[in-house]
Structure 1
Amino acid sequence: MNLATIASLIFYFLFGPSETTLRNPNCDCGTKVGRTLSGPSNLTFYIQNTVYNPAVDNTDYFTSVYGVPPNVTWTNTYSFGVTATFEDPITAGPANDSQQIGTAQGFWQLDSKVGFTLFHVFTANITEGDYIGTISILGQLREIDPVRYLTVVGGTGDFLGARGMASCVLVSIDRTPPAKWTLSFDLDLYY
């Protein structure tokens, strides 16, 4: 994915039409008639990630893959340009065997030549529980920060019109191939 494509995606997510402007006011379109924009003000979930690793042949249970390495001729200390695409289970608790309540689908890219920072874009598709819908989350974060903050830029279903902040914390990491980690997301949402 080239820089122009990434810039276009960022521009669209930040300044493009929101769900509220895209809805036809004369059509129910799967929402309740006369619905006001309101949903939960707080939501916590966990994302479970397992990286694909051909050395251990985990094709049956991986949830993310790295893209083609960047074509650079300098020493790339911070893996600038490395991209991963993921489709991770979202769980209600931090354990891998916790109840799955949805799926997180998106990508991240290491975007600095002077430190480990990454640009993260994903949609949390919540399919189980008291609230059903999607939440769109994006932002840049530094891997060394104990709490990482991302922006909630929209939602559908019970999260229609959601905006706010997602606090992300690394709960656990296992670097033994295939690498696995768990992230917690605490969302403060506004409608």
Structure 2
Amino acid sequence: MMRTGGLITCILFFFLYLSGASAMRPVMKKRREPCKRLELFFHDIVYNGKNAENATSTIVAAPEGANRTILAGQNHFGNVVVFDDPITLDNNLHSTPVGRAQGMYIYDRKDTFCSWLGFTFALNSTEHQGTLSFIGADPLLNKTRDISVVGGTGDFSLAKGIATIMTDAYEGEVYFRLHVDIKLYECW
């Protein structure tokens, strides 16, 4: 049997443990500045059955009975598009590319325009060599959307951060240009 003094000591140590544990919990850090920031544009030209020489993306899967040269109705739900788009430093499609955006987007909501993005920027310029990989939801009707930067290679080895995407321009369902503001918070 434990004595009263021993019980009080145990209780005291328990409360000290709890107060120490709460003191050791992570504290919310102040928002820090990015270690690297890039602003780039990528240009997507969807194949529509007539523009094979200019197309940089194509529908590779569609809902049953849908046409793979025209995006499906009902917010394009079920379409899967693979792309290999030029990346430029400005919003001009004819500017010299600094790399390629390569990946896919999947229209994944029936009730609104939304897609899931998984892609890589492969940069090959005098300023940057390497890749950045992105993943996340893209609710297309929002003015700005944030997706995760989940890694990289070369100049961006092990990079992590946030990319804010804005639709800069679009022409029907054949062409769109995205402005991508990349803020890296882990740079090696």
Fold shared, TM-score > 0.5 on shorter chain: yes
Q: Match for residue 23 of structure 1?
A: none
In the alignment, the residues of structure 2 paired with residue 104 and residue 68 of structure 1 have an alpha-carbon distance, to the nearest angstrom, of 20
Aligned equivalent of 1:96, options 89, 93, 113: 93
Q: Match for residue 108 of structure 2?
A: 111
Count of matched residue pairs: 148
In the alignment, the residues of structure 1 paired with residue 122 and residue 57 of structure 2 have an alpha-carbon distance, to the nearest angstrom, of 16
Tell me if 1:162 matches 2:159: yes
Q: 5 Å matches for 1:144-159? A: 144-159=141-156
Structure 1: give runs of 5+ residues left out of the alignment.
1-38
Tell me if 1:64 matches 2:81: no
Q: Match for residue 68 of structure 2?
A: none
Q: Match for residue 182 of structure 1?
A: 177
Identity of aligned residues (%): 31
In the alignment, the residues of structure 2 paired with residue 132 and residue 151 of structure 1 have an alpha-carbon distance, to the nearest angstrom, of 20
Deviation >4 Å, runs of 4+: none
**1:146-176 deviations in Å (ceiling 9; x for gaps):** 0011100000000001000000111111127
**Amino acid corresponding to residue 154 of structure 1 in structure 2:** G
**1:69-88 deviations in Å (ceiling 9; x for gaps):** 2128xx96233211100000
**Is the contact between residue 40 and residue 159 of structure 1 (CA under 8 Å) also seen in structure 2?**
no
In the alignment, the residues of structure 2 paired with residue 186 and residue 69 of structure 1 have an alpha-carbon distance, to the nearest angstrom, of 30
**Amino acid corresponding to residue 82 of structure 1 in structure 2:** N
Q: 1:113 offset after TM fit, Å?
A: 2.2
**Is the contact between residue 46 and residue 94 of structure 1 (CA under 8 Å) also seen in structure 2?**
yes
In the alignment, the residues of structure 1 paired with residue 103 and residue 44 of structure 2 have an alpha-carbon distance, to the nearest angstrom, of 12
3-state SS of 1:158 partner: helix
Give the structure-1-normalised TM-score.
Answer: 0.72
